[in-house]
A = this chain, B = another copy of it.
Amino acid sequence: MKSLSIKDIAVKAGVSITTVSFIINGKARDKSISEAVIKKVEKIIVESGYKPNQIARSLRTGNSNIIGLIVEDISNSFFSKIARLIEDKAYKKGYKIIYSSTENHIEKAKELITMFKSRKVDGYIISPIKGLEEDIQQLMADNKPVILFDRNLPDLDANYVGADHFKATYHSIESFIKQGKKKISLVTIDIDVQQITERLTAYKKALADYDIPYEENLVLKVHFNQDEKETMVQMEKLFQTEEIDAVLFATNYLAISGLKVLKQTGKKIGNDFSVIAYDDHEVFELHTPGISAVQQPLEEIAETVIQLILSQLSSKTKLDNQHIILPAKLIER
């Protein structure tokens, strides 16, 4: 069954497609179409269930009412929660979301941008990775709204929304120190994105500020894509060989792996051994004992991102790029 076109409606109503188009797009009054015609055409549209072909509309107008969302991995709960909130808010403004996961592969990320471009998406929300600077620059040169979130690219002057990882990490380490911890470990990953590296910087700074010597062997940098088994072996070694009394895990999945190791080896979390996870997760609340965690303000991040992109989409002129850093908070359990 062919679907109806604007022409079919025009024929049924005995008017031109121009008139129908004006009515569909709410320009009827503007164009001084008579009320009688408007009523008649609207009636026919409703009765026939006609829906304009968005593809044709896009081709003609050059925009698609679609926002492209590029994340590292949609199945990661941080991203899926953000995606949900963004989708919800975008939807209410008539925008759809098309998403895809980069899996941290630069080639896939580049391909995605190309694909989104050829689909003429109206704007881009990107959790970027290093190496994407030029492509993003290109998008902005093409005058497309771009909002980076979660991760920033320092070499790029672009809109960015993220949490204050430095401060949150600093506070976490500080809270360990105030509990009297001396041998504080950091388990992190080896990817070179600001969002991750600043956790290490903050860790070092906090130690320095409290005159605690930095010990290289207390920092475990897990290889980004490695097997969880291997990660667990490395952690087990770390937990055993040192008189560690506190660990900050730089991501929630590292923390989860860490908890598995502790469970297996029977090492207890308690006064002698404290743990903080970066990025909260349901696991941590339910764990016995509860695991303290740094919580990113998901709602606010999503809200800010969508706000920014919508204002760019509706603005005729190029707006100034904004850098919005939201506070993350340490939930003590």
Among candidates B52, B100, B282, residue contacting A118 with C-beta atoms closer than 8 Å? B52
- The reply to whether the CB of A101 lies closer than 8 angstroms to some CB of chain B is yes
Q: Which residues of B have CB within 8 Å of A141?
A: 1
List A residues 9-68 near B (Cβ within 8 Å).
51-56, 58-59, 64, 66
- The reply to whether the CB of A151 lies closer than 8 angstroms to some CB of chain B is no
Q: Which one of A76-84, A170-178, A319-327 is at the B interface? A: A76-84
Q: Are A96 and B115 in contact (CB under 8 A)?
A: yes
A141 to B2, CA, bound (A): 11
Among candidates B58, B76, B117, B283, residue contacting A283 with C-beta atoms closer than 8 Å? B283
- The reply to whether the CB of A218 lies closer than 8 angstroms to some CB of chain B is no
Contact A74/B83 with A51-B114, A286-B287 known, Cβ cut-off 8 Å: yes
Contact A87/B74 with A80-B80, A283-B283 known, Cβ cut-off 8 Å: yes
A55 to B115, CA, bound (A): 11
Q: Which one of A189-197, A256-264, A310-318 is at the B interface? A: A256-264
A115 to B52, CA, bound (A): 10
- The reply to whether the CB of A227 lies closer than 8 angstroms to some CB of chain B is no
Q: Are B97 and A96 in contact (CB under 8 A)?
A: no
Render A106-133 as a binary contact track against B, CB cut-off 8 A, 1 for contact: 0000000011011110000000000000
**Distance in Å: Cβ of A75 to nearest Cβ of chain B:** 4
Q: Which residues of B have CB within 8 Å of A81?
A: 75
Size of the chain A interface, CB-CB below 8 angstroms:
50
Q: Which residues of B have CB within 8 Å of A74?
A: 74, 80, 83-84, 87
* Interface residue SS majority, chain A: helix
Q: Are A101 and B119 in contact (CB under 8 A)?
A: no
**Distance in Å: Cβ of A274 to nearest Cβ of chain B:** 17
Report the copy number of this chain in the oligomer: 2
A96 to B118, CA, bound (A): 12
Q: Are B88 and A101 in contact (CB under 8 A)?
A: yes
- The reply to whether the CB of A99 lies closer than 8 angstroms to some CB of chain B is yes
Q: Which residues of B have CB within 8 Å of A55?
A: 55, 58-59, 64, 119-120
- The reply to whether the CB of A142 lies closer than 8 angstroms to some CB of chain B is yes
Q: Can you name 9 extra interface pairs (CB under 8 A) apart from A1-B142, A53-B120, A75-B80?
A: A52-B118, A55-B64, A74-B84, A75-B85, A80-B80, A99-B99, A256-B282, A256-B286, A263-B286
Query: What 7 pairs between A and B have smallest CB-CB spacing?
Result: A75-B84, A80-B80, A51-B118, A75-B81, A54-B118, A75-B80, A55-B58
30 contacts between A and B (CB under 8 A): A51-B114, A51-B118, A52-B118, A53-B59, A54-B118, A54-B120, A55-B55, A55-B58, A55-B59, A56-B59, A66-B98, A74-B74, A74-B83, A74-B84, A75-B84, A76-B80, A80-B80, A87-B99, A87-B100, A88-B101, A96-B98, A96-B100, A96-B119, A97-B98, A263-B286, A282-B283, A283-B283, A283-B286, A287-B287, A287-B288
